[in-house]
Amino acid sequence: MDLTRAYAPDDIVTLRRFLPRMSSNCGSATIPEPQPWGQQSGEEKVDKMLLHPEDIRPELGEDLHDPSYQDEEGPPPKLQYIWRKVIFMVLVHLGALYGITLIPSCKVYTCLFGMFYNIVAGLGITAGAHRLWSHRTYKARLPLTLFLILANTMAFQNDVYDWVRDHRVHHKFTETHADPHNSRRGFFFSHVGWLLVRKHLAVKEKGGKLDMSDLKAEKLVMFQRRYYRPAVLLICVILPTLVPWYFWGETLQHSLYIVTFLRYAVILNFTWLLNSVAHLYGYRPYDRNIGAREIGLISLVSLGEGFHNYHHAFPYDYSASEYSWHTSLTTFFIDCMAALGLAYDRKKVSKAAVLARIKRTGDGSHKSG
């Protein structure tokens, strides 16, 4: 495989030095593709062991950490606020706070609908924008792809193309000025502040050099990008507001402030916790040299994304953790889709590779020692 295909010339030297070193510690297995119900054969398939990250995902290498990149010396640039975004976020959270006061007087179905809506929207981020499109940890058939596009639009956290570009840059240049939500700039900046200011020039420069051809080739992704604003207005605002009012007689006031404003603020902040808290607090059992950390509690509210040190050490693992589906609703969802034949080629890092990485770069907090 030609490793120079997806990288800029100044990255090639780093890749040739860095990837061979990873190969001795990053073995992985591809989980065989399940056949749709009624078509499974009796033959047992053997997992194919793969030793190199680039072997399990020959189409993608843009999310691998580049340790050679360093920030230029000097003070960070002055923050340039985008006031329309500041006003928007303030209004959303004020609406959410008012929505909290309305909860005691709303119908039970309204709260349940809001929670269900957020779970589906969350899967559009975790199983969709994150594990499928950002890291290519598995493959999805058309029905699942369509569902994830719709669910991602429900979440209203940028279209898939923009989300993936920012996330790949975050992984490749984590904790530098080229990281969109660099945690070294403080909790508030990494949590929400990065969305309220103009991007650092390094983010724009490095993001512009990423190979995004895999997403440009996906018609559904580009269709969503083209019609994102009207789709968000319909799916994220109008639909969740009207459904409770129409089907079980909720007031429009309760629907708007609880199911739209409060629900949206909740899913935003649960996602942002991974950029802030999960890069500032917790253990680093797999790699003590990176900022990402393990926080089990965040996994509960992020549908299984809280094992962040593992994820940054092994971004190509479809479960985003060392553990199986019982610790992650997203992994459970992907496994269910695989059982239905809608997801396949799930990538999983081998236990031997995980233990080798723990011994080489871990902080000693892992139970294996």
pLDDT digits (tens, 9 = 90+) for 23-62: 334 455 555 444 443 344 333 332 333 333 433 444 567 8
* Domain coverage including residue 304: 9-33+46-66+77-361
Looking at the domain assignment, is residue 328 inside a domain? yes
State residue 369's pLDDT score: 52
Q: Who wins on pLDDT, 280 or 34?
A: 280
State what percent of residues in the chain have pLDDT above 90: 75
Looking at the domain assignment, is residue 316 inside a domain? yes
State residue 222's pLDDT score: 98
State residue 65's pLDDT score: 83
Looking at the domain assignment, is residue 367 inside a domain? no
Looking at the domain assignment, is residue 72 inside a domain? no
**Within a 10 A sphere around the Cβ of 323, how many other Cβ atoms?**
14
Taking the alpha carbons of 262, 281, 279, 71 in that order, is the dihedral positive or negative? positive
Taking the alpha carbons of 316, 270, 94, 246 in that order, is the dihedral positive or negative? positive
Region class of 156: left (phi > 0), else alpha (psi between -120 and 50), else beta? left
Give the pairing of strands 139-140 and 28-31: unpaired
What does the pLDDT average to over 132-158? 98
State residue 361's pLDDT score: 93
Q: Who wins on pLDDT, 360 or 58?
A: 360
State residue 72's pLDDT score: 82
**Within a 10 A sphere around the Cβ of 246, how many other Cβ atoms?**
10
Looking at the domain assignment, is residue 2 inside a domain? no
* pTM of the shown model: 0.84
Looking at the domain assignment, is residue 108 inside a domain? yes
Is residue 316 within 8 A of residue 345, CB to CB? The reply is: no
What does the angle CA 26 – CA 32 – CA 37 come to, to the nearest 5 degrees? 150
pLDDT digits (tens, 9 = 90+) for 229-238: 999 999 999 9
pLDDT greater than 90 at residue 68: no
pLDDT greater than 90 at residue 302: yes
State residue 53's pLDDT score: 44
Region class of 282: left (phi > 0), else alpha (psi between -120 and 50), else beta? left
Looking at the domain assignment, is residue 369 inside a domain? no
Measured CA to CA, the distance from residue 304 to residue 299 in angstroms comes to 4
**How many domains is the chain partitioned into structurally?**
1
Instruction: Please tell me what DSSP assigns to residue 36.
Output: P
Looking at the domain assignment, is residue 278 inside a domain? yes
pLDDT greater than 90 at residue 63: no
**Within a 10 A sphere around the Cβ of 319, how many other Cβ atoms?**
28
